Amino acid sequence: MGNKSKAGDSNNPFTNRTPPPSDSETAEQMTKRIKQEEAAQQVSKEIDEILYERKKYLEKKRKAVQILLLGQSESGKSSILKNFHLAFAPKAFQKEREVWRTVIQLNLISSIKRVLDILKEEWEPEELEIPTTPDLDTPLLRNLRRMRLGLSPLIFLENTLTHSLAPELAGSGDVCVRAGTPWKSLLNLRRPSTASSESRRKTSSSDPSSVLVASRDNIVALWEDQAVQEVLKRRELRLEFTSGFFLHDARRIASEDYVPTDADIVRARVRTMGAEEHQLTIEKGEQGLDSGSDIYVTDVGGSRSARQSWIPFFESVNAILFIAPLAFNETLEEDPRVNRLEDSFSLWREICSSKLLMHAQLILFLNKKDVLSATLEAGVTVKKYVPSYNMPNDVLHVTKYFREKFHAYLRKLSPKPRPFMCYETSALDTSATAAVLVGVREIIIRQQLEDAQML
């Protein structure tokens, strides 16, 4: 009777995989076999669910707007991405405000470290030992040592936190993270007031707030010191133009009740190593758009060494947002011999001429227009860096000149005719950039409908 029952199960793959013995089967053996069958069925069910969810995800993504952010390192891609969040999913972004609070505090400490390093180079060259004689023990050196000592707790804390985020990238001068890691969870350090005393103690030991508050006077004194400003001016270092710069706001940030503004968050600097995909679900009523629809934005690394990894992300993209900073007088961080704007032109030419991308919409953002304006107001002439420039040295003409150069490359190199879409932006102007992004999204959706012959 038992053998007949087993034969009747011959079509069951789980029974075939763990068949009962040909002779009699003990109760213990049967229990073990049944558990093995149930475990195998559970594994199969989980695999089916994973495959089903993956299929649903790919189908949903295929119908959604897919955008690829391209541009060199420090072009402003991350700021544009944060503007996407603010424009389309502000409630979700609001939940991350505490995380960005810690990032901004770390950015402030990084700027302090950089200033101290510059002063050390200027006032305490490596070829000299620490002065021990009265003639060499100058007021400037005494002041440097005093500032360094007063700010040392901040430096120690910043080293500890950045090392916990990405040990192999610590010490680079930036807040660095690896794409795909839960770095936001690691930085969500603050706890509700109802947390246990032990929890609060652990939080305070890794939260920069209290140390910043205690160091506020030293920070302000460092930045406002006339001798410090003279060193930076002589070296032509405009730190205020770098991303993640908050020394002008040190008093406001180094306070117990500091809450980041939207503009603060957009200015915050986190260097992400590797490509990272962001899924934004449009919230109800935002910008008059349909709620529940998705936008997928992929941010890829902008450094020269990372560009060879861009190609796999080109396959199903609807549009490429190419970010080109109007930084005609700056060079690449990874190669000081290369002008930033010239590098942007080189990248743009490659993108325009690529047959792989001939069906993707190219949308150019001439970014950091605010930095361009400040640079020109400071008396920097474009012709000094761009010999072919022969127009007035003002924002209107400079922007027009570079816009036309980008347009000419698109017209000449594109495998097929396509429109030139260009926006002049300052990623720090959140309201204006949000309006631009809404327009960009509508352009992409319209093109999708035309490609599907629904318009």
Per-residue pLDDT tens for 361-385? Answer: 899 999 999 889 999 998 999 999 9
Element (H, E) at 221: helix 208-224
What number of helices (H) and strands (E) belong to the chain? 17, 8
Token representation of residue 152: 């040392």
For residues 224-252, give the mean pLDDT. 88
Distance of alpha carbon 89 from alpha carbon 93, whole angstroms: 6
Q: 67 falls in which pLDDT band (50, 70, 90)?
A: confident
**β-bridge mates for residue 114, sequence order:** none
Instruction: Decide if pLDDT at 212 tops 50.
Output: yes
Give the distance, in angstroms, between the CA of residue 303 and the centroid of all CA atoms in the same chain.
13
If one compares 431 and 416, the residue with the highest pLDDT of the two is 416
Q: What is the DSSP string of 128-195?
A: SPPP-STTT--HHHHHHHHHHHHHHHHHHHHHHHHHHH-GGGTTSSS-EEETTS-HHHHH-----TTS
The DSSP code for 35 is: H
Chain-centre distance for alpha carbon 288: 27
**Per-residue pLDDT, 440:** 78
Whole-angstrom Cα Rg for the chain: 29
Say how far apart CA 80 and CA 433 lie, in whole Å: 8
> In the Cβ-directed half-sphere of 455, how many Cα atoms lie within 13 Å?
8
* Whole-structure pTM value: 0.74
Sequence length of the chain is 455
pLDDT at res. 422: 92
Check pLDDT > 60 for residue 20. no
Q: What is the mean pLDDT of the chain?
A: 80
- Write the pLDDT tens digit of every residue in 128-179: 444 443 444 567 777 778 888 888 888 888 888 888 887 777 667 788 888 7
* Contacting residues for 10 by C-beta, under 8 A, at least 6 apart: 16
